[in-house]
Chain A
């Protein structure tokens, strides 16, 4: 498996980047706004994240919560204009990325931090063969010649389990199925053996059986290369399967961060709690869905106070008038941006235990 890639042309180049204490990425108080005709949309309002080697961080949020914009800001591929990074810092192995020149950025983007996009069909160039597109990474960044790069592309296609890689290296994107296209995207993303991989909704457009294949492949690659993986998604099921830590976003802010087990056992923010109660579960019957009322806010008109207050069942006057609550530690290793996080936590612990206790045998026998 991995030995096919340890050939010189694909092996990790002489990287001058070494993480201190395993810390790869440090995002602090990131601010991004989009200046549109309808006004300024605050897409990201002070997001702080970090990612360690070999770790999977899931960024969870609905459309418009700012999760994809966060990824674009980290990658340095934000469309400017209309998007502007107005504050904060993004450090890779301790070095600030936001002040770098575009030339310096290019040496990070690809070899160090790489990205997989949601829609593989529109992310691949329709007029070039897929092998050529994968090989381009090696030609541009490593100066590999055409035939070496092509051979490397074939090996990468084999690594991501594309059957008949040698025969299909000259095929065009439209000749592949959705799952295979996503594999090609993954092959491109890992071509330079990056330390950080950002996967933006990598399986949203795919069927469940194919989704399972792709998630298994990503997990395998991450294990093999000790990559840090940022998984951006809205799917609470996928997250439960693969994430180590979770960051929940709402209206451009982080509302809760925690390790995967504690967040599912007892969410500390009303939004996370609402999300978990509103999704139907495959392994439950007779479940009542407790929908979150209302709609996510328009980012040009974020309500004053806590942005979640109009939909929140815990909301009090303080939530409507005081400045939005900061992300604060509510339990060791757990942070939530809510004035009443302790109450939410206590309620969640009670509610989420409920089904297990009522059907006492269920908790034990469940596999």
Chain B
């Protein structure tokens, strides 16, 4: 178990590659004939984190918690309402035009749905080669076809399939095409928005293994957005748990899965079924009541207090900060007044 201290030390002296500070994205709700703004959907509401070189940061949460919006903010597909996003010392939110385009070369995204994120009227060669049209200096014009074939080979597809169309591929193969497009410009950061959730179980592992191999080979940093906590544990070095537009707990994989201190993280972990019938009835289940409140009208102070089993008066008055709080062995950031470690998942180490 000394590995936790080791990994903590490792992250502290590693290089920060992407740094988000107080990112906010509000969408206006318009109504009436003149489309007056009547409210705000607070999709992302003050998110800060650092991404280190070569690591995988998992971002988990239920639908509507803002994790996909956060992913899109990181590649500046959405411009934030406020906050900053530093990549290589440059604030991306202040850039536009050519300068932003140059920065985006280093931060690419892979989308969730391999069925709608590929243009059905373009061949695979056109799809993967399109980034080179926008950034022509990456690969000289004559070498593009070769480069696309190399990329196909790298993601485990046959280079001969360069002239095929997306519909001729299965879901898993299409996701490989999406990944090939994502890494075409040799980015430093790849944001993956639910890259395996649309895939069948037997194919999901192929894509997860591919992503791990590419990370090793290309030295990529991943931001891995997903709702499946088992997949996120498998692939991530660090994990951030989001609830209603905010990070409620962040730490390395062990801290989040073995010593979670936020009640939401604990409830989320306890709800994930484990494929082992011998644990039936033996695992502690924290059943949350109700649904996630609307992000257009989030609860005051601690946003989780309406569903929290630990909530007290203070929770609806004072917003808990995302500060390091003791987790039994050390401390990691958790946004709860009553943060307390609790073992939800009995972990077995199967690494050999």
Residue numbers in B under 8 Å from A367 (CB-CB)? 279, 282-284, 346
A234 touches B274 (CB 8 A): no
Most chain A CB inside 10 Å of its own CB: which residue of B173, B203, B231, B257? B203
Q: Which of B62, B274, B279 sits near A207, CB closer than 8 Å?
A: B62
Verify if B158 is at the interface (C-beta below 8 Å from A).
no
A289 touches B273 (CB 8 A): no
A366 touches B230 (CB 8 A): no
Verify if B8 is at the interface (C-beta below 8 Å from A).
no
Most chain B CB inside 10 Å of its own CB: which residue of A236, A239, A289? A289
Verify if A100 is at the interface (C-beta below 8 Å from B).
no
A170 to B231 CA separation, bound complex (whole angstroms): 40
Verify if A85 is at the interface (C-beta below 8 Å from B).
no
Verify if A318 is at the interface (C-beta below 8 Å from B).
no
Which A residue sits closest to B63, measured CB to CB? A207
Task: Mark interface residues in A171-182 (1 if CB within 8 Å of B CB, else 0).
Answer: 000000111100
Known: A211-B271, A241-B273, A279-B275. A293 touches B206 (CB 8 A): yes
Shortest Cβ distance from residue A64 to the other chain B in the assembled complex, whole angstroms: 8
Verify if A147 is at the interface (C-beta below 8 Å from B).
no
B268 touches A240 (CB 8 A): no
Residue numbers in A under 8 Å from B272 (CB-CB)? 208, 237, 282
- Interface positions, chain B 274-328, Cβ under 8 Å from A, are 274-280, 282-285, 287-288, 290-292
Task: Mark interface residues in B253-267 (1 if CB within 8 Å of A CB, else 0).
Answer: 110010000000001
A356 to B209 CA separation, bound complex (whole angstroms): 24
A278 touches B170 (CB 8 A): no
A282 touches B229 (CB 8 A): yes
B230 touches A279 (CB 8 A): yes
Q: Which of B206, B227, B284, B290 sits near A291, CB closer than 8 Å?
A: B206
Task: Mark interface residues in B220-233 (1 if CB within 8 Å of A CB, else 0).
Answer: 00000001011101
Residue numbers in B under 8 Å from A145 (CB-CB)? none
A177 to B270 CA separation, bound complex (whole angstroms): 22
B201 touches A207 (CB 8 A): no
A209 to B272 CA separation, bound complex (whole angstroms): 8
Most chain A CB inside 10 Å of its own CB: which residue of B235, B270, B275, B292? B275
Known: A207-B62, A209-B267, A240-B273. A283 touches B346 (CB 8 A): yes
Q: Which of A63, A210, A282 sits near B274, CB closer than 8 Å?
A: A282
Residue numbers in B under 8 Å from A292 (CB-CB)? 202, 205-206
Q: Which of A279, A356, A358 sits near B205, CB closer than 8 Å?
A: A279
A280 touches B234 (CB 8 A): yes
A292 to B205 CA separation, bound complex (whole angstroms): 8
Verify if A274 is at the interface (C-beta below 8 Å from B).
yes
Known: A208-B227, A208-B271, A260-B277. A283 touches B345 (CB 8 A): yes
Verify if B98 is at the interface (C-beta below 8 Å from A).
no
- Interface positions, chain A 230-289, Cβ under 8 Å from B, are 234-241, 243, 260-261, 264-265, 274-276, 278-287, 289
Verify if A323 is at the interface (C-beta below 8 Å from B).
no
Verify if A362 is at the interface (C-beta below 8 Å from B).
yes
Known: A216-B287, A282-B269, A284-B350. A291 touches B280 (CB 8 A): no
A234 touches B201 (CB 8 A): yes
A208 touches B229 (CB 8 A): yes
Task: Mark interface residues in A203-220 (1 if CB within 8 Å of B CB, else 0).
Answer: 000011111110010000
Verify if B33 is at the interface (C-beta below 8 Å from A).
no
Residue numbers in B under 8 Å from A291 (CB-CB)? 202-203, 205-206, 208-209
Verify if B215 is at the interface (C-beta below 8 Å from A).
no
Known: A237-B275, A274-B202. A295 touches B346 (CB 8 A): no
A278 touches B347 (CB 8 A): no
Residue numbers in A under 8 Å from B269 (CB-CB)? 282
A209 touches B352 (CB 8 A): no
Shortest Cβ distance from residue B59 to the other chain A in the assembled complex, whole angstroms: 15
A209 touches B268 (CB 8 A): yes
Residue numbers in B under 8 Å from A38 (CB-CB)? none
A282 touches B172 (CB 8 A): no
A8 to B312 CA separation, bound complex (whole angstroms): 44
A285 touches B349 (CB 8 A): yes
B203 touches A295 (CB 8 A): yes
Shortest Cβ distance from residue A233 to the other chain B in the assembled complex, whole angstroms: 10
Verify if A346 is at the interface (C-beta below 8 Å from B).
no
Verify if B69 is at the interface (C-beta below 8 Å from A).
no
Q: Which of A63, A209, A359 sits near B62, CB closer than 8 Å?
A: A209
Residue numbers in A under 8 Å from B276 (CB-CB)? 240, 264, 281, 283
Known: A179-B291, A237-B274, A367-B282. A286 touches B350 (CB 8 A): yes
Verify if A296 is at the interface (C-beta below 8 Å from B).
yes
B231 touches A280 (CB 8 A): yes
Most chain B CB inside 10 Å of its own CB: which residue of A240, A282, A284? A282
Chain A residues at the B interface, C-beta cutoff of 8 Å: 62-63, 163, 177-180, 207-213, 216, 234-241, 243, 260-261, 264-265, 274-276, 278-287, 289-293, 295-296, 355-356, 358-359, 362, 365-367
Apart from A287-B351, A292-B205: 8 A-B pairs, beta carbons within 8 A: A62-B202, A163-B290, A208-B272, A216-B287, A238-B273, A264-B275, A279-B201, A283-B345
Could you show 9 A-B contacts with beta carbons less than 8 Å apart? A211-B273, A216-B285, A237-B275, A240-B276, A279-B230, A282-B257, A283-B348, A289-B234, A355-B348
Sorted nearest first, the 5 A-B pairs with minimum C-beta distance are A286-B351, A237-B273, A291-B205, A280-B234, A278-B205
